[in-house]
Structure 1
Amino acid sequence: MERTKTDFPVPAPLKQHGPARIITLCNQKGGVGKTTTSISLGAALAEYGRKVLAIDFDPQGALSAGLAVNTHEATTIYDLLLNGKLEPREAIQPTGVPGLDVIPANIDLSAAEVHLVNEVAREQALARVLRRVSDDYDVILIDCQPSLGILTVNALTAAHGVLIPLESEYFALRGVALLIETVEKVKERLNPALELDGILVTMFDARTLHSREVYERVIEAFKDKVLDTVISRTVKFPDASVAGSPITQFAPDHPAAEAYRHLARELVSRGAVA
């Protein structure tokens, strides 16, 4: 079942910035391209003149590392979650991409689950932090850890939309139903405004029958929730991560960089980003 690909228009410049639409990138399966997508989509949106804040919400700190952002001795998202008196702007760091900023994370964040357990309205901790900076940005991207624990629930509670990167591999498909069930529960109980912005097929390899079959099954199951953009598998992504640079800067003319620009244009066209 071949979809006709749309070429979305280059978005018009914005006359003013903010308030941000907050998008959580989550999938409880690891290694599906959440961090790569957070970095590359953020950089592509910044290229189109959007002011972007990326939140590293994974104790492994891969997003911070992938943008060559310092996490040692830095104020991190963990500090902001635990100390309401801290000014969130103190934690924001610029990146090598104009228009893209980051609030970093490090291994300290793994202790947040324990600390938040006894907090009042613990699911709202991240929302309280982001509320104080959202007027400065057009979009805030939250890169979640691969789990459905309290941190991911916090990210979903703070967000307007969810973007699910889905590896084009059979076992990846099985977990998506559980993830969507979690999204529905958060929508019902904590955040009625939450929407599924789309499912992004990643690590696609058109040469293999398996990849093509999984893609067809994803479209069958989720129909128009599956984004038009498909991210193909390439060694350029790990190379860019090692260089601490998004693919759009590391290899600007590579098809993978163009795919993320296509994703940025698609999300603007769909109204998920201003």
Structure 2
Amino acid sequence: MSIVIHTGNGKGGVKKTTTSAALALRLAEKGRKVLLIDTDGQCDLSRLFGVNANSVGFSTADLYEPGFSFEPVGSDNFDWKDKGKNDGKIHIIPAHLAKLADVRKLPFDKVLDFKTNVLNLAKKFDYQYVIIDTPPSLDINQMAGLATANYTILPLSCDFESCGEEKIRQYFNVVKSVKNKANKSLATPLVVLTDVDAKGDLTKKYIAWSNQFFGNAMLPEYVEHSAMLPNALNSKRAPWYKPNNGNDRAKGKKYKKVIDAILARFGEEA
């Protein structure tokens, strides 16, 4: 049975897409077959993995149509350790800006069609993991991902203005609503701090607050602020694979530990 991971937040710029991509790359490195689903109309994940909805003839908007079926497209855009030497693969269903804008007008019950189609695809093509990347809004695309997932990740930047208690409670209210209506087994969101400058006084205050506020739902490991991630993504490689320099090597090694810690919470063995 596939494990479905949702990466979400009502705020942009918190590294949702980067986290989704890194999880897929690490799982592929470990020999897993992964399906990426891009529900963000900005199409960043789709571009990152080199898949265009207009070129392939389908998009995540089609997942809201009952009984719709297609074969996701394989992506060969990134490099990772032992690529081609094990069964690790990454496939993707790309986003389409205009079509996803229309999807936002759909009633909530259409998330059930999305959920059914995703789970059917996962079973048909034997994906061990499905990762759903979502938009920076609390719309139907966010809810569809939550309705489908076993686990959800809430990436946060250390910023009380954009990721403070009020914004987080709004997001948790959506999670609670979707869980009650469409996904009783959805786990409590796993909170991950991203782009952390641990030397900053404001960051220290945010980390202390978040530890108290989230408790065990917060991952102790966090992602340090670094140029390593954009360097890796621009080079189309896993962040810990063949780094450009010594600093990227050290940061990439730490980042891999964060990704492994996330996956361990979801039952993936080291």
TM exceeds 0.5?
A: yes
Distance 2:240 2:113 in 1: 32
Match of 1:112 in 2: 103
Deviates more, 1:102-111 or 1:221-230: 102-111
Q: Residue 81 of structure 1: CA displacement?
A: 2.3
Match of 1:204 in 2: 196
Matched, 1:95 2:76: yes
- TM-score between both structures, scaled by the size of structure 1: 0.83
Q: Per-residue displacement from partner, 1:195-250 (whole Å, max 9, x unpaired)?
A: 12510000100121111211111111111111122111122333444445442447
Residues 35 and 127 in structure 2, CA contact (< 8 A), matched pair in contact too: yes
Q: Residue 83 of structure 1: CA displacement?
A: 4.0
Matched, 1:269 2:251: no
Q: Residue 164 of structure 1: CA displacement?
A: 0.3
Match of 2:121 in 1: 133
Residues 95 and 102 in structure 1, CA contact (< 8 A), matched pair in contact too: no
Q: Residue 86 of structure 1: CA displacement?
A: 3.9
Q: Per-residue displacement from partner, 1:127-164 (whole Å, max 9, x unpaired)?
A: 12211222311211110000111111111111111100
Q: Which amino acid aligns with 1:96?
A: N
Q: Which amino acid aligns with 1:25?
A: T
Q: Per-residue displacement from partner, 1:49-74 (whole Å, max 9, x unpaired)?
A: 22211111101100111222333322
Match of 1:157 in 2: 147
Cα gap change, 1:271 to 1:86, in 2 (>3 Å): closer
Distance 1:86 1:245 in 2: 33
Matched, 1:179 2:171: yes
Cα gap change, 1:226 to 1:79, in 2 (>3 Å): closer
The count of residues paired between Structure 1 and Structure 2 equals 252
Distance 1:25 1:191 in 2: 16
Match of 1:124 in 2: 112
Cα gap change, 1:143 to 1:168, in 2 (>3 Å): same
Q: Per-residue displacement from partner, 1:179-199 (whole Å, max 9, x unpaired)?
A: 112111111222101112510
Q: As a proportion of its length, which structure holds more strand?
A: 1
Matched, 1:147 2:137: yes
Q: Which amino acid aligns with 2:206?
A: V
- TM-score between both structures, scaled by the size of structure 2: 0.84
Q: Which runs of 5+ in 2 are unaligned?
A: 79-87
Higher relative contact order (CA 8 A, sep 6+): 1
Distance 1:103 1:221 in 2: 35
